[in-house]
Amino acid sequence: MNAPSRRRISAVVIALDEEKNIAACLESLRWTDEIVVVDSGSVDGTQEIARRYTDKVFDVPWKGFGPQKQAAVALAGHDVVLNVDCDERVTPELAEEIGGILSGPGMAAAYTVPRRTFLGGKEIRRCGWYPDRTTRLFDRTRARFSADLVHERVEVSGETAPLMGHLLHYSFSGIGEMIPKIDRYSDLSARQMFERGRRCGIADLLLRPAFAFFRTYLLRLGFLDGVEGVVISATTGWLAFVKYAKLRELERSSGKGPG
């Protein structure tokens, strides 16, 4: 009996002004059969760098994280898809593991991947940042990204299995990069909550930030990550406060909240 032919795989990446990260990301994807980059209007060198690795670079207006990633999946040439963010790198061990699945007799509908996340040069092992499993490899005929503007997820019809190889996640070079991302994520989170009928009360502004800090620093052992654990816990609390404050603003501007 002939051995099954190897499945072909598309790597999909969404980008916006990622010239500092995208080359290392795409370099770690050279082993795939195809790289698809969906850019949403970068004004730096992101697109030019991406074209050194692939001719499949598309400019698609921003729709939110879920719709943007699904747009990239739809543009892929193969049904097996690996989604990687610009600040992530596929380790050789993960690439080899995926290669074994591609050459094997069958595959699950989707696979979760653990991530090793870094703040500056320090790997964060607690704060809820590890293993931070996320669904990244899937068969697009049995899975797709949700329509969420933020905190998107892969909706799977079938079995999801775990992979052991890691993604390396270089999330922030320092606190200076955390603040703009908090602003962007809080905008999207507030809008998503508002569209789903969520409303903000005083307790949300007072209690949720405090609990977010407490959960990250104590329950998730952030204190064992030293100063970085304090920074992560504090910014997690700040994100909780800002997104609910922005939700309250949306309520007032729409006439659906207290004056």
Any long-range contacts for 98-104 (C-beta under 8 Å, 24+ apart)? 98/9, 98/137, 98/163, 98/165, 99/31, 101/137, 102/6, 102/7, 102/8, 102/9, 103/4, 103/6, 103/7, 104/4
The answer to whether residue 3 scores a pLDDT higher than 70 is no
Is residue 214 assigned to a domain? yes
Please give the distance of CA 93 from its chain centroid, rounded to a whole number.
20
Question: Of 171, 204, 239, which one is at a domain's C-terminal end?
Answer: 171
Shared domain check, 242 and 142: no
| Token pair in block for residue 72 | 């990239």
**Number of separate domains in the chain:** 2
Shared domain check, 186 and 158: no
How large is the average pLDDT for residues 125-146? 97
Shared domain check, 45 and 158: yes
Shared domain check, 156 and 129: yes
Summary mean pLDDT of the chain: 95
Question: Considering Cα of 40, then 41, then 44, then 46, what sign does the dihedral take?
Answer: positive
Structure pTM? Answer: 0.90
Q: Minimal CA–CA distance to 230: which of 169, 194, 170, 178?
A: 178
Is residue 189 assigned to a domain? yes
Quick one: pLDDT band at residue 208, thresholds 50, 70, 90?
A: very high
- What are the pLDDT digits (tens) for 57-98? 999 999 999 999 999 999 999 999 999 999 999 999 999 999
| Dist. CA 45–CA 9, nearest whole Å | 26
Is residue 117 assigned to a domain? yes
- What are the pLDDT digits (tens) for 136-188? 999 999 999 999 999 999 999 999 999 999 999 998 888 888 999 999 999 99
Count of beta carbons in the 10 Å neighbourhood of residue 29: 22
What is the phi-psi region of residue 68: left when phi exceeds 0, alpha when psi lies from -120 to 50, beta otherwise? alpha
Is residue 4 assigned to a domain? no
Please classify residue 134 by burial: count the beta carbons closer than 10 Å to its beta carbon, then call 0-12 exposed, 13-18 middle and 19+ buried: middle
The answer to whether residue 224 scores a pLDDT higher than 50 is yes
Q: Are strands 110-113 and 167-172 parallel, antiparallel or unpaired?
A: unpaired
Please give the distance of CA 92 from its chain centroid, rounded to a whole number.
20
Q: At 131, which CATH number?
A: 3.90.550.10
Q: H helices then E strands: how many in the chain?
A: 7, 13
Shared domain check, 127 and 30: yes
Quick one: pLDDT band at residue 256, thresholds 50, 70, 90?
A: low
Residue position matching structure tokens 């309520």 = 251
| Token pair in block for residue 165 | 């190889």
Contact indicator for 140, 76 with CB cutoff of 8 Å: yes
